[in-house]
Amino acid sequence: MATNSKTISSWVQKTPGVCGGDACIRKTRITVWGLVLSRQLGAPDARILENIVGLTPDDLEVAWDYYRRNPAEIDEAIRLNEEP
């Protein structure tokens, strides 16, 4: 799948009141920061796809691309959500 800014902006959504307004995958409550954290903790894409029902390889590609474009936002979301 070729990603571009239009695809990313329509595929990754921020909705007030849903997951704290964090970036989520296409009308779900699957956060980009959660996917990125899973990958940082060593989970391969195949394992992430097995563990999250309805998630597709294209969803992951868009999430990784969103993170490449917005690392400060996602790193901050991880930090805030991992604090005790």
Tens of pLDDT, residues 30-54:
999 999 999 999 999 999 999 999 9
**Residue 47 to residues 9, 18, 36, 56: CA-CA distances in angstroms?**
26, 25, 13, 12
Instruction: Give the pLDDT confidence score for residue 73 in this predicted structure.
Output: 97
Instruction: Kindly compute the dihedral angle of the four CA atoms of residues 82, 3, 47, 24, in this order, to the nearest 10 degrees.
Output: 40
Q: Is the model's pLDDT at 62 over the cut of 80?
A: yes
Q: Domains of the chain by range and CATH?
A: 5-82 (1.10.10.10)
Instruction: Give the pLDDT confidence score for residue 83 in this predicted structure.
Output: 81
Q: Residue 9 — very low, low, confident or very high, per pLDDT cuts 50/70/90?
A: low
- Angle formed by the axes of helices 32-40 and 71-82, to 10°? 80
* pLDDT: which is higher, 10 or 2: 10
Alpha-carbon gap, residue 65 to 4, rounded angstroms: 9
Instruction: Kindly compute the dihedral angle of the four CA atoms of residues 4, 14, 65, 49, in this order, to the nearest 10 degrees.
Output: -120
